[in-house]
Amino acid sequence: MSTTAFTPDELEAIEEKGFVLRMACLPATAVGLYFLVRPWPADTWAVRVAWTCFISYFLFCWTSCFHEMAHQTLTRWRWLDITLGRILGTLIYTPYTVYREAHVRHHAYVNRPYDWELWPYSSPACSRAFRRAFVIFDIAFGFIASPVIYSRIFFHPDSPLKSRAIRRTIWLEYGAIVLFWSLVFARLAYADTWMRYGKVWLMPHMIAGVMQTMRKLTEHLGMASYDPMLGTRTVIGNNWITRLASFVNFDIFIHGPHHRHPRLAQNHLEEKMNEYLLNNPGTKYPVYSNYLRATADMIPYVWRNPGVGMNVGAAPPRQTRFPDSMDFPADVVPPA
């Protein structure tokens, strides 16, 4: 498995930013699960719906936490990021190493045909009809679609993952997922508590999957540019709700600077975006003041043409040789 090579200054910035408050999604989910099992303050449908929505949102935040673990920018300690990533990946059915390897290439080749993370939207081999059908599946069943999309980088015949060590690690992670959920399902079958599982875990997880897919599409769908600053939508909130939501999601909403500088600590992303705006007054960056406006800009592409890059009019990118092992660079320089 590749690991992120930080400079001393980058490590210092990661340490200074802190991460405890941003990880509120983990204990918040536990609290929500407890009160969904033991309804409080009353056992009514309204209370159950409220706790289900509460859990769903913080399960959605898990994906942002998982994202930071893949970048290895959550904490200063790489071993902790990897360990927590493997635990979280097991719970959301996606091996940590599969996600990291796909995500490294997503940063390197955003919106291009070899952007594994944005398949099928990035693939000119996928017809518009297929992409229209898939985007509906992706939104409605994101908790299934996401593991399927990420698995392609490992199981596809043209997988770039040739290293025996990496493939062995991924097999072990898949094995851990199968073992863990087999034990869970065996316990559910023995106790005949499938209905409780559906209400307490499956339903919130499905809703969180919808949120995660909508976030992904809002940041990327309909974007043609291969430049990470111009080919992604960035949200810098002008109200406390958007800013709080961005904070608990590790400021991943400030997506352009994150794509351009994947080793940059989250608390410097807004500063970096302002720097680009100041230094390039003639460039129209896709920056929005709230997430609803960014989503409204994306929505027409869901049916009209769910794609990115070549599928929405970009010229074919120049082909390059792809290394077997990759890392997140400090600066993803746009292609010439």
Instruction: Report residue 116 as tokens.
Output: 């594994």
Q: 200-246, pLDDT tens digit by residue?
A: 999 999 999 999 999 999 999 999 999 999 999 999 999 999 999 99
- What is the DSSP pairing of strand 234-235 with strand 287-288? parallel
What's the helix, strand, coil split of the chain in %, to 5? 65, 0, 35
pTM of the model: 0.93
| Mean pLDDT of the region 13-25 | 76
Instruction: Report residue 278 as tokens.
Output: 């100041």
| Mean pLDDT of the region 107-136 | 96
User: Rounded distance, CA 310 to CA 329, Å?
Assistant: 24
User: Rounded distance, CA 116 to CA 103, Å?
Assistant: 8
Query: Given this model, what pLDDT does residue 21 score?
Result: 75
Query: Given this model, what pLDDT does residue 61 score?
Result: 94
